[in-house]
Amino acid sequence: MDGMGSDGAGRSRCRGTGWDRGGLRIAHPLLRTAPGATRTVSPNELAAALRLRASYPPYFDQYAGPALAAAAKGDGTGLLSLADTWNGRRSDAAGFNTGYAPDFQDDVALFCTDRPWPTGTAAYGALLAASEAASPHLGAERASMALPCNGWPITDLPHPVRVPGTPPILVVSSTGDPYTPYQWGVDAAHTLANGVLLTSNTHGHTAYLSGHPCVDTNVEGYVVSATPPASGTIC
């Protein structure tokens, strides 16, 4: 879609041609938000909505499906609602850059020290091109998240931590976590001198208290007794 605007009833609408791999009409308009009822859903909002669903499926699956179905029929209100939830945008915020949660800086501080990032326009351009090649509709949005990291003043990037002499440290890692990849948990458990890996074959960001009884039982048993499950346990 070349954009989503608002119809006379205050709903967001989508229009245009071209289908992405998931069957939703999208293109690459700039984000346009103006005072009043009219707003636009660009790949930025679509990505935010899908990110929310992927991070917390037990809570947002029930909203994501109907929102995508409505968007395919021309009503993007549900996608905007999900994107606003992810972005911390107040429902009464009409302006382009007002009414958002103040924790963006915290997220950037974490994101920019997760790994080395490109510096300079040429290196960032290469990252952008690779991102768009991997994901034509959403890659640019993901690459733009790295822009504040260009010249980020803190260079204390992650490094191995072994902490010998501790009791067993339980590491829970989900195979379908979109934010902390499963392999990161595997590596952390192996790097810790007394790490114990619990694998959760689940989707979403974090597994405990997300509707997975096997994970909950093992974590709570560890917290209460300080005795972890056998390393390599799979839920």
For the cut 60, the answer to whether the pLDDT of residue 15 exceeds it is no
User: Does one domain contain both 193 and 117?
Assistant: no
Range of the domain at 49: 3-87
Degrees, nearest 5: CA angle 191-176-218: 65
Higher pLDDT, 27 or 78: 78
Higher pLDDT, 95 or 227: 227
User: Does one domain contain both 72 and 126?
Assistant: no
Cα maximum dimension of the chain: 66
Residues near 200 by beta carbon (within 8 Å), at least 6 away in sequence: 172, 173, 174, 175, 207, 212, 214, 215, 234, 235
Residue 125, in any domain of the structure: yes
Q: Report, as an integer, the average pLDDT of 117-128.
A: 90
pLDDT tens readout for residues 29-88: 323 333 344 677 888 888 889 988 888 888 898 999 999 998 888 888 889 888 888 887
| Number of domains the chain is built from | 3
Higher pLDDT, 191 or 7: 191
User: Which single residue is written with the structure tokens 């209460």?
Assistant: 224
Q: Report, as an integer, the average pLDDT of 206-228.
A: 95
For the cut 90, the answer to whether the pLDDT of residue 186 exceeds it is yes
Residue 93, in any domain of the structure: no
User: Does one domain contain both 11 and 80?
Assistant: yes
User: Does one domain contain both 70 and 133?
Assistant: no
Measured CA to CA, the distance from residue 13 to residue 47 in angstroms comes to 17
Contact (CB, 8 A) for 94 and 36: yes
Average pLDDT, the chain: 79
Q: Report, as an integer, the average pLDDT of 190-201.
A: 97
Residue 126, in any domain of the structure: yes
Contact (CB, 8 A) for 14 and 41: yes
